[in-house]
Chains A and B, each alone.
Chain A
Amino acid sequence: MTRQLEPDDKIRSEQQTGIPVWDLFIRFFHWSLLALVCLAAFTGFLGEEWWLNYHIWAGYAIGLLVVMRLVWGFVGSPFARFSSFVFSKQQTLSFVRQLLKGRPPRHTGHNPAGALMVFALLLVLSGLVLSGLVLLGGQENQGPLAGLIPYFIGAAFGEFHEFLAALLLFMIGAHIAGVIVESRLGGENLVRAMLTGKKRFSLPGHETAYAKRKAALVAIAICGTIGLAGAGAWRSLATIHPGGLPKMPENVAWKSECGDCHYAYHPSLLPGKSWQMLMAGLASHFGEDASLDEKTRREISSWLQKHAAEHWDTEAANNLRHISAEQPLRITASPWWKRRHAEVGKAVFARKSIGSRGNCIACHRDADSGRFDDQKINIPEK
């Protein structure tokens, strides 16, 4: 499939040793990015909820890699620099026309189509990391933005995050197709080049070495400065208490009166109206006589309403505000609850250590706080 070399291509062939093109950092960046994107995609698309930490750490690592790549794009070795693969519209169109004819012009580094893909990938990856941080802070009340981002913004960015993730998969497909096509047409094994760093062909004047030591030192200095600034910002952000998680004094009567018969549900799991109705009908409480003396009933009822779903900005509170029309008092009847537990089979709820749908704490180890973090889910085997 190798195209015959033509004299006007002015291509120099160094079949024995090859010409250094991709420096060590570029190769490290490419392959570790591939591994991390695989991990993030797997945990994001297919993984269990409680694998969220792996997804988060993959995201942080991808963010770090992208920052380093951006810095390297300005100070790195010749073919790592963005300036070496910024092409004009005409150059790009002409490249594509030639490519369609099966004769793509040679480029030592990125060709115009590949360059476009590099910029697009860096943009989409940055978007994924940033939208992931907003999603994590808003929806999960975790990460550096937990204290700043309200739930509804986090949830909206969640949609965007999913869109970008799907787009990234599509782009990875196009990237691989591009590599295969160019390797076939150009006779240069691009996968091997990304492993060894060396290409067999290069245009004249491109017989460059990899990065100079000075470039590496400058890059380390810049990355270090960015890292220190980021760590400082992170630490001060971490001191902000998540707005949607008010500090709630525990009510003794609630804990004992409700908790004697069933798991004492966090007040944020139903809206105030539901709590009011529920506490007014204790004589027939889901078929059970749960009547209380009037003083205790009033105390618990007002405490529940004071800390009801409306007063929290957690994922559970935001969604459990929308109750079932038929069973407005039953948390496990709400549409969102049912959707989120659709994959949990009847047999799981019947396990001895769980017993019923209402025993939140059997699987959600942080149910007492009302947070219901994905990572705190631990479904007992028996």
Chain B
Amino acid sequence: MRKSLIPLALSGLAMTLTPALAGSGRTGILEQLQAEAGQAFSAERGKALFMARHKGGKPKTPSCTTCHSKSPLNAGRTRAGKRIAPMAVSKTSDRYSDPKKVAKWFRRNCRSVLGRECTPLEKGDFITFMMSR
């Protein structure tokens, strides 16, 4: 009886901790970016970055919204047709919590849209905007 309670308790613990861990992963990523950027992040600047039409990237992907849709609350679609979960943390709770994933997608997508890597400030602004939604 007791033994069977242990996995139950552990899984209960894991369930309560998962969102918290995702949150702590996000905090760590933001702290790291903050240290590199050296100035406060702005959701407004992040929104502008997300909505703007950029030059210098690939002609078929001039904007984040090309694939992610005009609203962070809506799902997007890759150019190959796959669904992309909404970017807003309120809609997709585990967004921006895995440093490897965050690094991968910023690297690829900034190159595609802007034709260069994003700065720590831009990344921080972007995540701050998505957390405000």
Interface set of A (CB-CB < 8 Å, partner B): 259-263, 287-293, 354-356, 358-359
Write the chain A residue with the least CB distance to B57.
Answer: A289
B101-121 residues with Cβ-Cβ distance < 8 A to A are: 104, 107-109, 111-112
- When the two chains form their complex, are residues B111 and A263 in contact, meaning their CB atoms are under 8 A apart? no
Q: Which residues of B contact A358 (CB under 8 A)?
A: 80-81
Query: B82 and A260: CB pair below 8 A?
Result: yes
The residues of A that contact B2 with a CB separation of less than 8 Å are none
Cβ distance A193 to chain B, nearest Cβ, rounded Å: 62
Residue B60 lies at the interface, judged by CB distance under 8 Å to chain A: yes
The 0/1 profile, CB within 8 Å of A marked 1, for residues 80-100 of chain B is 111000000000000000001
Q: Which residues of A contact B112 (CB under 8 A)?
A: 288-289
Q: Which residues of A contact B78 (CB under 8 A)?
A: 260-262
Indicate if B133 sits at the interface (CB-CB under 8 A): no
Closest 10 CB pairs between A and B?
Answer: A355-B81, A262-B80, A289-B108, A261-B78, A356-B81, A289-B111, A289-B112, A261-B80, A359-B81, A261-B82
In the assembled complex, the Cα of A263 lies from the Cα of B112 at a distance in Å of: 21
For B111, give the chain A residue with the smallest CB separation: A289
Q: A261 to B104, alpha carbons, bound, how many Å? A: 13
> In the complex, which residues of chain A have a beta carbon less than 8 angstroms from the beta carbon of B111?
289
B3 within 8 A of A: no
Q: A287 is contacted by which of B58, B82, B107 (Cβ under 8 Å)?
A: B58
Interface centre among B58, B77, B79, B107 (most CB of A within 10 A): B79
**Chain B residues within an 8 Å CB radius of A355:** 77, 80-81
Known contacts A287-B58, A287-B60, A292 near B81 by CB under 8 Å:
no
Residues of B within 8 A of A291 (CB): 107-108
Q: Is the interface of A mostly helix, strand, loop or mixed?
A: loop
**Could you give, for residues 11-32 of chain B, a 1 whenever the CB lies within 8 Å of some chain A CB and a 0 otherwise?**
0000000000000000000000
Output the least CB separation between A24 and chain B (Å).
59
Q: Please give the number of chain B residues whose Cβ is less than 8 angstroms from any Cβ of chain A in the complex.
A: 15
A262 touches B81 (CB 8 A): yes
Complex interface: chain B residues within 8 A of A290 (CB): 108
Whether A263 contacts B104 by the Cβ 8 Å rule is no
Q: How far is the CA of A287 from the CA of B61 in the complex (A)?
A: 11
Residues of A within 8 A of B100 (CB): 293
Residue from A262, A288, A289 within 8 A of B82 (CB atoms): A262
* Bound form: Cα–Cα A287–B59 in Å: 11
| A50 to B65 CA separation, bound complex (whole angstroms) | 39
In the complex, A356 Cα to B77 Cα: how many Å? Answer: 12
Residue of A290, A354, A355 with most chain B CB atoms under a 10 A cut-off: A355
Chain A residues with Cβ under 8 A from B104's Cβ? 292-293
Chain A residues with CB under 8 Å of B81's CB are 262, 354-356, 358-359
> A288 to B61, alpha carbons, bound, how many Å?
10
Using Cβ atoms and an 8 Å threshold, which residues of chain B touch A293?
A: 100, 104
- CB of B112, distance to nearest CB on chain A (Å): 5
> Closest CB of chain B to A380's CB: distance in Å?
13
Residues of A within 8 A of B60 (CB): 287
Chain B nearest Cβ from A265, distance in angstroms: 11
A263 surroundings in chain B (CB, below 8 A): 80, 82
Is there contact, CB below 8 Å, between B79 and A288? yes
Tell me how far the C-beta of A284 lies from the nearest C-beta in chain B, rounded to whole angstroms.
10
Q: Is the CB of B108 within 8 A of A356?
A: no
Q: Which residue of A lies closest to B110 (CB)?
A: A289
Residue of A259, A261, A292, A354 contacting most chain B CB atoms (<10 Å): A261
Q: How distant is the Cα of A355 from the Cα of B111 in the complex, in angstroms?
A: 25
Select from chain B the residue with minimum beta-carbon distance to A356.
Answer: B81
- CB-CB nearest in chain B for A259: B82
A-B contact pairs, 15 of them (CB 8 A): A259-B82, A260-B78, A262-B80, A288-B108, A288-B112, A289-B108, A289-B109, A289-B112, A291-B107, A291-B108, A292-B104, A293-B100, A355-B81, A356-B81, A358-B81
- Considering the chains assembled together, what is the distance between the CA atoms of A354 and B109 in angstroms? 24
Knowing A287-B58, A287-B60, A288-B112, the reply to whether A356 touches B80 (Cβ < 8 A) is yes
Residues of A within 8 A of B107 (CB): 289, 291
CB distance from B61 to the nearest CB of A (A): 9
A287 to B79, CA, bound (A): 10
With CB as the reference atom, state the residue of chain A lying closest to B59: A287
**Nearest-Cβ distance from residue A360 to partner chain B, whole angstroms:** 11
Assembled-state Cα–Cα distance A179/B60 (Å): 69
- A18 CB, min distance to chain B CBs, angstroms: 69
**Cβ of A376 to closest chain B Cβ, rounded Å:** 20
